[in-house]
Amino acid sequence: MINFVTTRSHGYTVRHLVRQLGNACHWSYERLFRQKSLRSGTWVFTDHERLSSFEIALAAKVANRLQRGGARILNHPAHVLGRHDLLKALNAAGINHFSAWRCESGPRPNTFPVFIRNEFDHLSADLELIADQPALDAQLSRMKEDGIPLAGKLVIEYAGQEVSPGVWQRFATYRVGHRLIAHHNAVDFRWAAKDVKDTQRLVAHPMFSAFLENERRFVEGNLYEDVLRRAFDLAGIDYGRADFSLVDGRPQIFEINTNPAHGSHAVIYRETHPQRADTQRLSEDRLYAALRAVNSAAGNRIALDDPALVPQQAFRRLFTGLKRA
């Protein structure tokens, strides 16, 4: 049994994954922290950036008890780096050419442009590039004047490169246990590339066939596996998706998402462009094969009797009862 643990409000990301795997289950941290015991099996901890430091400590104690009881743990909460520390580590290791600073630290980036994003989510729709240091200082001052906390926000150097004038790309590679799976290559008309919204414009682009071929070669060849494995190892992440671009042919990793959204296969294969369908089937087949390979049987019950967990179990059970009353 594979158990995916997410924050309560972000369980939708694994809904289709759990259904399509079959031998899988979803838990919220809120529910997890109420349990006095759990069955062994494979436990995948996600959403670390959305947890408080206190919740991370509790999750680590649960993971410790499960691991000692014979369960397999992916993304141990005590090992996973946050976004700021990961970007710093990737830069120090020579993998990324860009770096990041916390907004409240008086950031002075090495290169511009830069952008500001939250450390605790994966939103990118409203990102704007900031041209130079005076513009960055002014933006941070406006945020404080407007009552926007600087805590939890990062200044990140831009690291992108057009694949065609006005066109950017984002690669995505999963890790599941020891396996890495090159999954897809999104092409977009925005520098913060996601899945393109104007599909007709993309299909009409003179390089559309080249974009498809690039994705096919990426997926079939599982390209950039070595450097991405180093990145996942640095991050302490056993399950997740690395999002990255190429700059002068070298991967530049934006983030590793421990709770990436998974779609319904029926919808994916129906809505994917016909010339892209075989590539998507191959990447999904490899991903699900890797997930089934880390599956382990739900066996004995393991007591969650850490002294820090016991009062939380009682309090949260009482609180849940009061809410239902």
The percent of residues in the chain predicted with pLDDT above 70, rounded, is: 97
CATH class of 168-257: alpha beta
323 — pLDDT class (breaks 50, 70, 90): very low
- pLDDT tens readout for residues 196-233: 888 899 999 999 999 999 999 999 999 999 999 999 99
pLDDT for 125 equals 56
* CATH code for the part of the protein at 99-157: 3.30.1490
Flag the least confident range among 241-255, 290-304, 305-319: 305-319
Q: What is the pLDDT of residue 324?
A: 42
| Residue-wise pLDDT tens digits, 108-143 | 999 999 999 999 887 765 789 999 999 999 999 999
| Intra-chain end-to-end CA distance of the chain, in Å | 33
Spatial separation of the C-alpha atoms in residues 107 and 153, rounded to whole Å: 11
* Confidence band of 322 (pLDDT split at 50, 70, 90): very low
Task: Give the residue extent of every domain in the chain.
Answer: 2-80+295-324, 99-157, 168-257
What is the per-residue pLDDT for 70? Answer: 96
Is 56 a residue whose pLDDT tops 70?
yes
Which residues sit opposite 172 in a β-bridge?
184, 243
Q: Look at residue 320 and tell me whether its pLDDT is greater than 80.
A: no
Integer Cα distance of 82 and 119 in angstroms = 8
Higher pLDDT, 319 or 177: 177
Mean pLDDT of 59-65: 98
Within 10 angstroms of residue 201's Cβ, the number of other Cβ atoms is 11
Place of tokens 């991370």: 56
Do domains 99-157 and 168-257 share one topology? The answer is: no
Predicted local confidence at residue 243, as pLDDT: 97
* pLDDT for the residue numbered 236: 98
Check whether 21 has a pLDDT greater than 60: yes
Q: Reduced to 3 states, what is the DSSP secondary structure of residue 70?
A: coil
pLDDT at 124: 60
Q: pTM for the complete prediction?
A: 0.94
